[in-house]
Structure 1
Amino acid sequence: MASIAGCTGSFGGGKSNDGGAGGSDGSGKVKFWSSTNKQELTFHQNAAKAFRESNSTGLKIRPVPEGESSEQVVLSALSSGTAPGVFANVFPGFAAKLEKNGAVANLYELDGAKKFMKERSGQKILSRYESPDNGGMYQAPWKANPVLFQYNDTVFEESGYEADDYPQTLSGLIEAGKKITNQKSVEYLWDRAPKPTWYERWFDFLPLYLSATKGGDMIEATSDGKLKPAFNNDAAAKVLSFFQDLYDNDLAPSQSTKKQLFAKDKAAINTGGPWVIPFFKETNENISMSHRKPPVPDGMSLNGHTYADPKNTSIFKSANNKQGAWKFVSFEQQKKWDTKFLERSLQLPLRKDLVDVASGFFEKNPGVEKYAKVLETSHPPAYTPNYTKYMNTFSEQAFVPVCRGNKQPKKALNDAEQALKGVLN
């Protein structure tokens, strides 16, 4: 993944980019870009085939072209007038940048869109993806891979733990790690090095911070509409202290090992979304793992708040058939397609009551159901166009120095807060 922080400029009001005539009445061809994931692309193509049976709107489905990053490709296409009408792989930080540049449509202004999204996703989920600036919606909630902790059952059982005794607190994990790594066969509690790249925080600091704060923000708006850091608190200090202990006690590597230690029963815990299930089974078909809510500081109970790892669907202002584009987007986000998407991609549609809607799928895939059960307590990244720079600065000023033993948690948070005051607006 590459940073989009350096891309600026306005793309609003550019020439039509869908090809053909038509517009507000839902006529005209719609060019739709998906991610490069083959399973997702096939899903979109199958949905388009069914859509054409009862709709005259023309559709062209293809994956986003290859490039340095999908975000860079989209920004370049917007500049040159060759962008699609729809892009179905937008993370919220990119949606904020597109909104700021005037490139994307407010979906709430399209006929029936707000009602449909509220019925399908529910207000709790929907409100997390709205623009804090104006309450508009520039990204239709599409899919998520909520981050849970995977516990290697073999490692824990060989260390004398029963499933009911697995550690649920940060201090409990450290104590378990000391015990587990006394086994000669186990190298680390957590095979995770303190990498500085912004998106790495999605899989270490952020799930634990969200759990410790029960979904607290890392950025908040001031009374004058400006954004300011909101992470300099006791919960963040406790989470950073956990990582300080983790590396001080050599319970995690200082450099990435790239050895698949968790899958080989040589590390006890891991983090990731439901995609970890087939990923680790490719390395070890006999792996046994439990999927658990992020641990919490002492004195708290598990609550299921975690990072959502979402990607959403945006419609560009330059699309010549925005209503037709929405017609297809809402078509493939109907309830009847939820199970098909799960079966095809093993990713979760961002929908309320998904466990009930796709109950047949989850009966056959109980491991994936664990992720679906935290979908409504999973949170997107902060909605700011400077998100990548923001998280890189937090990593450089706070997370990595604490893990390396170069700063104490409180000083690290103070330094990061000061460094970020000029970044967010």
Structure 2
Amino acid sequence: MRKASSLLLTAILALSTLAACQNNTGNQDSESGTPGVTEIDFWAATNPPQEAFWKKVADEFNEENDDIHVNVSQMQESPTSEASVQSAIAGGEAPTFSENINRGFAAQLANSQALVPLNEVEGFDELIESRNMAETIESWEFSDGSQYVLPIYSNAMLFAWRTDILQDLGFDDIPENYSDVLEVVEALKASDNEKFLWAKPDLGSPEGWTRWFDFFMLYNGASDGNNFVEGNELIADDEAGKAVLEFMSQLEGENALLTSEASDPFETGLGIFSDLGPWSFPYWSEQFPEMVYGETFELSGPPVPDGMSTDNVKTFADAKGIVFYASATEEEQAAAMEFLTWVYSDPERDLQWFEETNMPPARDDLTSNESFNAFLEENPALIPYAEAVPNGVPPIDNPNYNDIQTQIGEQAFNPVVRGEKDPEQAWKDMKQAIEGELQNE
């Protein structure tokens, strides 16, 4: 069924792209009717701060340019933003470019030839250099060697530790490897058996997206960012993957995991370790003012297997970016690249983005570029996220990423967390299931 759907979508895309090219009138602003003006449409994410940012910079750009006009509108989210994008493409109504695209969804669109390889658009290399993001974008390369997504932000996911509780247990340093974590667990359970290391219902959920915030954080750390799938081949690091499952199995054996529902378990101290994104801080400032960085909690990269370096540990990057749609003419693509180059040529615009969205721009120099110094000094909890941007690994670039990640949960991660499978068997079962998925593509 999936293959048939994919073929149908590909056929529809081909027809819609042809229709779009035939219906495109070229250098004319539909609002003003001014000849010689290339009009391009940009879809912003449904997050209000993001839409406000893009409308503001587009207005500034339009005022400075007589030959390009950027129209910004909000991406529809009914039933999902991904479904809205696919529907627009199939109906020949896709914009020139849009944000809010993760690497996994981009793989689906690229597989249907709905996206433009950005590295084939003139000016892309100069954009990467001027924004100082060469290191950050390396992990975004697709298995065919192309770059289909320009990352806007990179929430390199970190783990938070309740350092006030650690200190009460006699630990002054954040655990960095698995043995350190297990030592903390032993002390925690001896102190209060009703407390847990990691209290999170999603640990027991098979839904594909949940693996980004547990398995892939730990796997990227254990494998030093090794790819999991490349094209139609499973290339996961066996040693790292089994080490992650063994670590989770040990935690389960110590009753250190809570998968039942609990209200704000980390904030209340029921759990002392939690995956955390920077979007939590506005909520904390209103609901949990006692959560103070450097006093009650600290941030770190994923713990890693014993013996691994704990410098620059890789992690999962909750990150999305901009794509160009194949229905856009070369002239529109060039205009879109000119607009993006203008936006990202000035780090002050990335600062504006950071201030308004709390999401770290996908740059290599967030902690060294003086443009960001004052903001980070005022928001010290964001500094670890800024430092971790180059270490963030985005989602796998496979069109069936959700099915693959569901198999990770159903065959391996979930049963290990429940104590139903040993890590060796779980990893073997997972590999067999995923290889079956890949063979069916």
**Same-fold status (TM-score > 0.5):** yes
Q: Please say if 1:298 is aligned against 2:310.
A: no
Give the aligned residue type for 2:218. Answer: L
Paired residues of 1:186 and 1:265 also in contact (CA < 8 A): no
Paired residues of 2:266 and 2:274 also in contact (CA < 8 A): yes
* Correspondence 1:322-337 to 2 at 5 A: 322-334=333-345, 335-337=347-349
Shift of 1:104: 1.0
Change in CA separation of 1:390 and 1:6 when aligned onto 2, cut-off 3 Å: farther
Change in CA separation of 1:407 and 1:85 when aligned onto 2, cut-off 3 Å: same
- Aligned partner of residue 41 in structure 2, secondary structure: strand
Give the aligned residue type for 2:363. Answer: R
**Bigger shift: 348-357 or 318-327?**
318-327
Count residues with an aligned counterpart: 414
Shift of 1:254: 2.8
Say which of 128, 140, 145 aligns to 1:117: 128
Q: Please say if 1:349 is aligned against 2:343.
A: no
- Aligned partner of residue 356 in structure 1, secondary structure: coil
Aligned Cα root-mean-square deviation (Å): 2.5
Give the aligned residue type for 1:266. Answer: L
Change in CA separation of 1:202 and 1:399 when aligned onto 2, cut-off 3 Å: same
Paired residues of 1:17 and 1:84 also in contact (CA < 8 A): no
Q: Please say if 1:307 is aligned against 2:312.
A: no
Say which of 380, 400, 413 aligns to 1:386: 400
Kindly, what percent of the aligned residue pairs are identical?
A: 29
Structure 1 distance, partners of 2:375, 2:43, is 27
5+ unaligned residues in a row in structure 2: which ranges?
A: 29-34
* Correspondence 1:190-339 to 2 at 5 A: 190-193=198-201, 194-220=204-230, 227-231=232-236, 233-257=238-262, 259-287=263-291, 288-303=296-311, 304-320=313-329, 321-334=332-345, 335-339=347-351
> Deviation digits for residues 330-385 of structure 1, max 9, x if unmatched?
33223231111110111011112121222222222221111111111111121111
- Aligned partner of residue 309 in structure 1, secondary structure: strand
Paired residues of 2:197 and 2:273 also in contact (CA < 8 A): yes
Structure 2 distance, partners of 1:206, 1:68, is 27
Paired residues of 2:75 and 2:81 also in contact (CA < 8 A): yes
Give the aligned residue type for 1:312. Answer: G
Shift of 1:422: 3.0
Q: Please say if 1:422 is aligned against 2:436.
A: yes
Change in CA separation of 1:5 and 1:198 when aligned onto 2, cut-off 3 Å: farther
Say which of 343, 368, 375 aligns to 1:361: 375
5+ unaligned residues in a row in structure 1: which ranges?
A: 221-225
**Bigger shift: 108-117 or 64-73?**
108-117
Shift of 1:121: 4.3
Structure 1 distance, partners of 2:113, 2:407, is 26
- Normalised by the length of structure 1, the TM-score is 0.90
Paired residues of 1:17 and 1:82 also in contact (CA < 8 A): no
Structure 1 distance, partners of 2:387, 2:116, is 31
Structure 1 distance, partners of 2:351, 2:194, is 38
Give the aligned residue type for 1:388. Answer: N
- Aligned partner of residue 180 in structure 1, secondary structure: helix
Shift of 1:7: 5.5
Shift of 1:18: 13
- Aligned partner of residue 171 in structure 2, secondary structure: coil
Give the aligned residue type for 1:275. Answer: W
Structure 2 distance, partners of 1:310, 1:233, is 26
Structure 1 distance, partners of 2:402, 2:299, is 29
Structure 2 distance, partners of 1:18, 1:405, is 59
- Aligned partner of residue 94 in structure 1, secondary structure: helix
